[in-house]
Structure 1
Amino acid sequence: MKLLLILISLFANDINYTDTYYNPELNQDDLFQYASYTNVGKQTLNINEVLISNDLIYTPLKSDNESVGFTSDYYWVRFKLENTSAESKIYYLNTARPVTDFATLYQITNNNIKSFKSGDEIRFEEKQVKHRSTIFKIILPPNSKNQFYLNLKSDGETINIPLNIYNENEFWKYNYNQQLFFGLFYGILLLAGIIYLFFYKSLKEKTFLFYGFYVFSIASLQAALDGLIFQYIFPNGGYFNTKAVLITALFSNLFLLKYCEYFLKIKVEFPLAYKGFRILYFIIAGLFVMVLISPQTMEHAYPLSNLNGLLSLILIIVSLFYIQYKGVKIDRYFSIGIFFLVIGLMGFVMNNLSLLPNNFYVVNSAKFGAGFEVIFLSLSMTNLIKKLRLEKEKSQEFALIKSEEISQLKTYFMSNISHELRTPINAIMGIAELQLNDEQNKETRKQFEIIKNASLSLLSNVNDILDFELIEKNELILKKETFNPETVLSQINNNWKIEAENKGLIYNYTIDNQLPYLISGDTERFLQIINNVVSNAFKYTKEGSIQFKITSKIESNESGVFDIVISDTGIGIDNKILNNIYDSFSQMRLNHKRQFGGIGLGLSIVKHLVKLFNGTINIKSELGVGTQVNIKLPFEIVQIKQHITADATLLNTNNKDLKILIVEDNKMNQMVIRKILQSFNYTNLVIANNGNEGLECLKKESFDIILMDLQMPVMDGYEATKIIRNGDLGELIKSIPIIAVTADAMQKTREYVLEIGMNDYINKPINKATLYEKINLYTCA
């Protein structure tokens, strides 16, 4: 009977349905051009009824992301795929939005019907592909022609019908890029939300509270739309999962209005608009009720909540213009942030309506808009902090109390922020670096260079903030290690050459050939001094040249002095400002309107580091002509000349069979460390996810060296190291070299790991050369 129904269906459907099959291996055009769809209203048809129906009228898909708007109707989409090869082919079909309630794919091959489930109103485990999106795994038998029907149903949300088909490699690459993008996007939102809730705790200013809640609600809304709430919070679907998008959208609308009300002081500056805000609050409350009453009222809540969001934006923009018209100065970053919010939402809505093409930037326009909005609104909040500080400086007693609270908050925050920020930066930079080494495509390399440079900039700002905290507490001290100054200088010089090429600047690097081969000192701080000064030269130079010259003067067999000169043809510095150039946040006093970036701590930190080196720094500058920085740094000589010729990459030639234990809980960091080590031909690697697993590995196998993370679940690196060094696992294991590899860059952490018996300490993001050097140091003895 089933065979008869299928045969009838092939002739019964409308004559417009093409018999052309789409071959993913051969066709250059898109799958949607071979597909059509029909609306069957509220009819719950099964596949056999659809196949034999003469009444269904199919419409060809007109775009690669067709939208049918807000609806609770059932839709059927059909298309055909063929495999002309002698082998089975596996593909992944990415279709309707992650929040589509039900999606069922039927595959008809040789009169055999198979069905596959997806959608966010079934159990997550029931999805054919365990993925947040609506994904189907398609297997095409050899030399086969396959007919597909896709049934879609939602509860009133917009239904989109993209038909994107990938082979396995393409799919996982697409999935990986999305995960990387999501990590950056959600990381920025969560960090911003946490920071401003901290500020609210300290300053008790409601603007910070509502802004923090708004950022979290934006993150929650996007997580609902991306299917992350379904995957990780409500994997069984059900009542709350059904309403997650509307609830988070309404909270986002509410907190945006409350934030703008307090930031713009609507009640005082624009009383009429304040009434409008209150009306919108009541509408939002009513929409919440509609969401909870019944599926029918919730269906109407979707378009109404979108309309209310539009009215909210209009009211905010009108209020913004009216208050400015009154002569009240409004922070420009607030206006820019609202602009990006409007642009992002417009792109999102127009894409849903198929008015814009379906590409990465358009599909994620709401995320880009929200991301830029949060960045600029955060800048406006920074200015608000400054304003509040100036207003409240009149009360010394109050300022003292708040200062103590902020200091305690900052101490707590800084103790955790190093690990939480440097861990994802390590993953991003590690992957970007590895891709740059492997990638040959010029355009792709350019994109990874952007990622790497942005990560370096973010890392530099993080390091400056952490260093400033140490300087304030007088806890920043220098390490003593042996290094080749010419080698480390050439590494950073290559980065600045690329920067000069990108900016169209002339860059001259001159190094004295009499530099000692090995010196003793703090490599990281030596490079930080130079990098910060050269970075400023590039930052403030739009055209012309930058000169970097370093010479050395040997004063005895044990000591000498570096003479470093860095000059530029940039904008120069006014003499009045030059006197205070080393002050913290000095850039805030410059009228550059934030066009040069940075947080204004660089030279303050450089001054302190030079002092720790027992050196001197002198800056000469002329406005409109340029700047010259002269630095003198004493150093201790370990070896004046290189006595033997050796290639650093060959130091461990006979030791490539080292057995290395990596104790690291973060999967991305595991991958990065593994790829770095494998690039040096270290292949005998074992990974443990926490300290306890690491100890179990040591009981079963012998290792030459351990790379130990510190902050891990179950058992951290500190406890695991103490057990090893106490001899609990035996005397042989007790002496294994242990190197801390951690995102915690605090000085106290560095001191503590050495105190409990670790041999050395490496910060994340991991420097390949440093890691290789450390492994050689402790395994070549």
Structure 2
Amino acid sequence: MAEGQLRRAYDQAREVELLASIARVVLEAVDATSALSAAAKVMRRHCDFAVSHVLVPDVDGVLVTSDIWDVDEGHVEFLDRVMTATADEGFGPSSGLPGDMASSHVPEWFPDLRHAPSHLRQEAIPSGSYWAFPVIAGVDVTAVMEFFHPTPRGTDERLLRLAPSVGAQLGSAFEREWLFRRQEADRRHLEELVAARTQDIARIERRGREVEDVRAAFVAYLVHENARVARSLEAVSGTLHGEVKSAIEGIVRLADQLAGVVEGVDRRLIGRRELIGPSELLASVAGPFEKDARIVLTVAEDLTDGTKFDLSVPYVQRALSELIENAARHSGSEVVELSGRLDSGSFTVEVRDSGIGFTWPQNGLRPTGGGGLAQVARLASALGGSLEVRAAEPKGTIARLQVATRERGPAPWASRSTRVLLVDDNEVNRRLAGAMLDRIGLRADVVDGGEAALAALRSSAYGLVFMDVQMPGVDGREATRIWRRSTGFASPADIPIVALTAHVGKQEREECTEAGMNDYLSKPFGIEDLGAMAKRWLEPGQTGRSDAR
């Protein structure tokens, strides 16, 4: 009895060891074929048969020989007999051993081949022992592993019961390989899709740039021609009065708005600046909200003597209206205090209510509504200032809007600047730009073409050049290229050169850069744009390329 228990324990240990070995083979194999090859060795040694072999189905489902063989060293001649009998054979379903297993999915063991039914290799292998089991992946037989021995061997029932588990484990190697192939196919398909879409996007972007350049050039041309007249009228508007002056200023504002659309840069947000008194500004934004709360206006004493600020009035009004609306309609306060003062060149307006205390941006929107503070903050930034919103003591909220102001007269940095050379083939443009530079406080020489510009640079020292791009003869780009190669003249070869162009498309800007121009200013431009560009390149410490304008 003890001997039987030991025998069962031994057999169980061997079974566990076999299944563990097959599992390890499947996990370590790089593909299904290598898993079958390693498993054929393991299984042959476990059952102690002379030869093991793997049959695989062809496209028609007929089992045919493969290159997977394993043999005991003492049975090489027997291997030759089995290989010869198997080489040209095909074993279809229901054709006898081993084809029957392709349809039955059931392992079989024949202790003596002389008694095996439908043994197709009986002539070459008339006797001995044979057993086989199918390898199944999903519901398909993907291989049959068979074993031969030259002498009869009794059936190993325990091994025969284990065979389906072994076949299933080996089948998982096929499933993993199929999954990998599908993943690879999907990956390649996705890569092809991404490549195709990338090309599509590149074509769309390229076409978009082309269309944008054409659109920009066309619109810029129209605006440029319109602005020439508007700037001419602006130059004389100071001597006019009444309705005529208002009409002319309306035309100029329209030209500026069109220019902002073409330029497509952040400064179009700031719009046209105009003079306005602080009391007038606060009263203009408080009026629409007087029915919602009592508005108390306060202006610092030093601002009540007729002081006027140079501001982008519509946008300052928009920002203040948003703040007052939050205070008058969403805070629950019956009184809103609106005060203005001058702080170090900036106009500061405080909007104070006695409602729900609120801090932005930490608290997001008011609990009872309101909002728009992010837009106000963007407006404040564009106007050269900032927004601060905080809870007040003992209750309420203080919103502080600060915007930059401008003073009329020569710019404080102009006295440190050197001479400016203005190059433009259009007489009206030369006169207008020259007048703007003079108003800024800069000394400027004006010439009408590329050749004249080169001559002026050779004979006189300049600190900055405003160069029209499209001119007859030597155009602005060619003049820049020539000057960059020049040495030993009054003006340095690396003098900052700013392109003046009505064509604001990307291609035009890239061509200006390649020609050696340092920056570009889009036509039509106003005195603020011209002054800002001059300051950028003439003020000490300002070097390198600036943002596009």
Given the two structures, how large is their TM-score scaled by the length of structure 1?
A: 0.27
| Bigger RCO (CA 8 Å, 6+ sep) | 2
